[in-house]
Amino acid sequence: MSEMHPTDTLAAPVRLEERAAGGGMRVAVATLDAPKSLHALTLDMIRLLDGALQRWALDPAVACVVLQSSTDKAFCAGGDVRGLRDAILAEPGVVPNPAAQAFFSEEYRLDHRIHTYPKPVLVWGGGIVMGGGLGLMAGASHRVATETTRIAMPEISIGLFPDVGGSWFLPRMPGRAGIFLGLTGAPLNAGDALFTGLADYFILQQDRSSVVDALCEADWQDVADPRLSMDRVLRSFAAPAAALPESEVRSHFDEIQSLTASRALDEVVAAIRGYNGDAPWLQRAARTLAGGSPLSAALAWDLQRRARHLGLADVFRLELTVALRCCAHPDFSEGVRALLVDKDNAPRWQPLAPGAVAQCFVPPWSGHPLADLH
């Protein structure tokens, strides 16, 4: 085991360490440590992560970064939407809500930093990876899925939309899988993650500590391309192909293409909701869409169209505008109530009013909080 140098207290929701590595270098490790909430992101956690990444990017002795959680059950179950709902209800009618603006702007800035980080970033995506957790994982240079991985973008069920860069990575999936997943929140396993481009490696969950040890044992001094060094370590731990779960997206790819073939949202929604086949995964997807927010479906659809030719920074800027408008809409508070507060799973969605979608794309400020993203 390599020597560990803690740089934060064990009581913090993110534990930061720098482990001794070959050639006098160090491997930086950030561990999400809020197991009761399945490591759901709070603003404090976002700030701890972003500050650490900034420091490590400037430290020439830090060879690479590992981002993981302290438990096998989940990497990150998303953002702390219950806390956001409380803040919004405390200041009704305020747009943008100050707490929501702080959370989403700093979360998206962190996600953008990971996408553009100058050093290798390994995200260990074992267990539950939802919403904001996928935002951390999607942009990393090296992404691991395991036999326990369960990925989803479930925003359709809480009156939000697939954010944290979803408008960037969903359209880059094979065929029209991205829009299907955005509309249905269908869960993904490791096979799906590899097929859709959300993961790069399949490694058994039990090998996590051995992988980190191997990174610490590698000689990072004078390495021409650190990304290749990390790639070699990860490939050496590749799990047997027989252990990889069958990809639901790949198995049902033709059906997904057929269900999403129309260029009209209402026709696509009707096709998915009307699925009458015998595949349980597609049946569940149809039920989720049928019970989801009409505004969320419309935003997921419109965002993929609007973001099609945008650069990454512009995508995050666009998503921030929509997120803050979306938080002010009744569907967000109602969706979080039904799913996470009262847990009655009986949301009372608002009918989709004329102009509601267009209003979500109107910036609620004169100067954009993410204007400096490149």
| Span 238-274, pLDDT tens digits | 999 999 999 999 999 999 999 999 999 999 999 999 9
Nearest-angstrom CA–CA distance, 124 and 200: 11
What band does 5 get if pLDDT is binned at 50, 70 and 90? very low
Question: What is the four-CA torsion angle of 353, 358, 182, 104, rounded to 10 degrees?
Answer: -110
Structural domains in the chain plus CATH codes: 4-359 (3.90.226.10)
Report the predicted TM-score, pTM, of the whole model to 2 decimal places. Answer: 0.95
Per-residue pLDDT band at 1 (split at 50, 70, 90): very low
pLDDT tens-digit map of 119-173: 999 999 999 999 999 999 999 999 999 999 999 999 999 999 999 999 999 999 9
The burial class, CB within 10 Å (0-12 / 13-18 / 19+), for 264 is exposed
